[in-house]
Structure 1
Amino acid sequence: MKTTSKEDFRSHCAVNYGVEIFGDRWSLLIIRDIVFVGKKTYGEFLKSEEKIATNVLASRLAFLEEQGILSRTPSPADGRKDYYTLTEKGLDLIPIVLNIVLWSARYDAKSYVRPQKDFVKRISRNPVQVSEEVKALVRSGGCIFPDVKE
């Protein structure tokens, strides 16, 4: 896989930089899976309902690791598996993901998050506090909806 250095960006516009680092669909869905349901392994990411191709998943995980958004460590239980976690740089994307959730809850009539009215209301009322709480939760290995299994 080709690494992306800052010289490879189309421009250094702040929006473009963000889009080139985390703005593709798959990168955001990997981040979502870590934050919302606590996925950590390649196999768990493959089970997401969007059905990411194996080569795309491997490429995105490697890219996010190269960019300092994900950290990869061997599983203590099975050294053949790697665990992916968000770095501090990756955790700083949580407010963006939560804002996407709010936007989707507002405009997607079939959004899975709509039934989570209290959660959506909390994010709307105090996005900074909720973002910090979610960061602390994910930093400690937790996730927002630990009971959701795919």
Structure 2
Amino acid sequence: MRELREPLMECSLPAALEAVGERWSFLILRASFNGLHHFEEFLSELGIARNILANRLARLVEHGILKREAMAVDRRRIEYLLTDKGFALLPTMIAMRQWGERWETCVPAFPILVDDRDRRPIQQVSVLSHDGRVLGKHDLIWALPGDVAADMDAVAAA
């Protein structure tokens, strides 16, 4: 376990938290996922102070999570749109929401997030193995790169 201490210090989690690990940033992202795009919309819906909103939007744009674009119909109006990098945060947002429902509020979220095709609630976000098995806390370990199976043949041989 001692040899894992140094690599863990170089973990990507601190960089991710630097980009979005703050309450207002998550609320802005949630609003973006829900279709808000304009400074004034964020301001009125979130009840956030102008200076904090401007700061958080600038940081999300700087990290490539949102992009700033002038609207085609009125070039003076700016839209903040999710990038692919920003949209990739959706599972994180859903996992945080589900965690909050279970451990903090113990109240189901409203509205309910459903599959557009079937209109059924989505499943709980889970940690999955390479073959799709749901993994629990006792199924996980940290490994050094040389100890990670490279392909399915290596897994079968183990």
* C-alpha separation in 1, matches of 2:125 and 2:83: 27
SS at match of 1:84: strand
**Structure 1 residue 30: Cα displacement:** 0.8
- Alpha-carbon contact 1:95-1:127 (below 8 Å) kept: no
Q: 2:68 matched to which residue of 1?
A: 72
* C-alpha separation in 2, matches of 1:30 and 1:16: 20
**Structure 1 residue 116: Cα displacement:** 2.4
Q: How does 1:71-110 map to 2 (within 5 A)?
A: 71-109=67-105
TM-score relative to the length of structure 1: 0.66
**Residue type of the partner of 1:22?**
V
Higher relative contact order (CA 8 A, sep 6+): 1
* C-alpha separation in 2, matches of 1:106 and 1:122: 15
Q: 1:46 matched to which residue of 2?
A: 43
CA-to-aligned-CA distance 1:38-65 (integer Å, 9 cap, x gap): 100000000124x211011111111111
- Alpha-carbon contact 2:91-2:125 (below 8 Å) kept: no
SS at match of 1:47: helix
Q: Which runs of 5+ in 1 are unaligned?
A: 1-10, 129-150
Higher helix proportion: 1
CA-to-aligned-CA distance 1:89-127 (integer Å, 9 cap, x gap): 111111100101111121233757156286794131789
* C-alpha separation in 1, matches of 2:89 and 2:72: 27
After alignment, is 100-109 or 17-26 more displaced?
100-109
TM-score relative to the length of structure 2: 0.63
Q: 1:17 matched to which residue of 2?
A: 15
* C-alpha separation in 1, matches of 2:14 and 2:121: 30
Percentage of identical aligned residues: 34
Q: 1:32 matched to which residue of 2?
A: 30
**Cα RMSD (Å):** 2.8
Q: Which runs of 5+ in 2 are unaligned?
A: 1-8, 129-158
* C-alpha separation in 2, matches of 1:29 and 1:43: 15
Mapped pair 1:122 → 2:122 = yes
Q: 2:57 matched to which residue of 1?
A: 61
Distance 1:86 1:111, change over 3 A: farther
